[in-house]
Amino acid sequence: MRAMQVTAYDAPLSMQELEMPISAAGEVLVKIDTCGMNFADTLMIKGTYQEKPPLPFAVGMEVCGTVKAVGEGVSDLQSGQRVAAYVGSGGLAEYAAIPAKACVPIPDEMSAVDAAAFLIAYGTSHVALDYKAKMQPGERLLVLGASGGVGLTAVELGKVMGAEVIACARGREKLEVCRAAGADHLIDSETDDIREIVKGLGGADVVYDPVGGDQFKAAMRACNSEARLLPLGFASGDVPQIPANILLVKNLTVMGLYWGGYAKIRPSVLTDSFKTLIDWYVAGKIKPHVSNVVPLDQANDALDLLRTRKATGKVVVRVS
Check which CATH number belongs to the domain holding 254 and give it.
3.40.50.720
127 and 195, same domain (yes or no) = yes
For the chain, percent of residues with pLDDT exceeding 90 = 85
Q: What is the mean pLDDT of residues 13-35?
A: 97
In a domain, 254, yes or no: yes
Query: Quick check: helix, strand or coil at residue 274?
Result: helix
130 and 114, same domain (yes or no) = no
Q: What is the mean pLDDT of residues 194-204?
A: 98
- pLDDT of 235 reads 83
Closest to 278 measured CA to CA, from 86, 152, 123: 123
- pLDDT of 113 reads 97
List CB contacts of 87: < 8 A, sequence separation 6 or more. Answer: 60, 61, 62, 63, 96, 98, 102
* CATH classification at residue 37: 3.90.180.10
Of 244, 259, 274, the last residue of a domain is 259
Looking at the predicted structure, is the pLDDT value of residue 51 above 90?
Answer: no
129 and 255, same domain (yes or no) = yes
Of 219, 238, 259, the last residue of a domain is 259
In a domain, 273, yes or no: no
In a domain, 274, yes or no: no
Sign of CA dihedral 41, 43, 46, 50: negative
146 and 217, same domain (yes or no) = yes
Q: How confident is the model at residue 271 (pLDDT cuts 50, 70, 90)?
A: confident
Query: Rounded to an integer, what distance in angstroms lies between the CA atom of residue 125 and that of residue 74?
Result: 30
21 and 104, same domain (yes or no) = yes
User: Are the C-beta atoms of residues 307 and 169 closer than 8 Å to each other?
Assistant: no
Looking at the predicted structure, is the pLDDT value of residue 14 above 90?
Answer: yes
- pLDDT of 295 reads 98
Q: What domain count does the chain have?
A: 2
- pLDDT of 46 reads 95
101 and 163, same domain (yes or no) = no
Looking at the predicted structure, is the pLDDT value of residue 216 above 90?
Answer: yes
- pLDDT of 182 reads 95
Q: How confident is the model at residue 261 (pLDDT cuts 50, 70, 90)?
A: confident
112 and 129, same domain (yes or no) = no
106 and 132, same domain (yes or no) = no
Structural domain boundaries, residue 311: 2-118+288-318
Query: Rounded to an integer, what distance in angstroms lies between the CA atom of residue 80 and that of residue 66?
Result: 6
291-300: pLDDT as tens digits:
999 999 999 9
- pLDDT of 260 reads 84
91-133: pLDDT as tens digits:
999 999 999 988 999 999 999 999 999 999 999 999 999 999 9
User: Are the C-beta atoms of residues 163 and 204 closer than 8 Å to each other?
Assistant: no
Please state, in angstroms and as integers, the Cα–Cα distance from residue 147 to each residue in 81, 87, 158, 175, following that order. 33, 24, 14, 7
In a domain, 265, yes or no: no
- pLDDT of 268 reads 85
Sign of CA dihedral 90, 94, 98, 102: positive
248 and 153, same domain (yes or no) = yes
- pLDDT of 303 reads 97
In a domain, 154, yes or no: yes
84 and 188, same domain (yes or no) = no
In a domain, 62, yes or no: yes
105 and 222, same domain (yes or no) = no
128 and 249, same domain (yes or no) = yes
In a domain, 264, yes or no: no
Q: What is the mean pLDDT of residues 122-151?
A: 96
In a domain, 267, yes or no: no
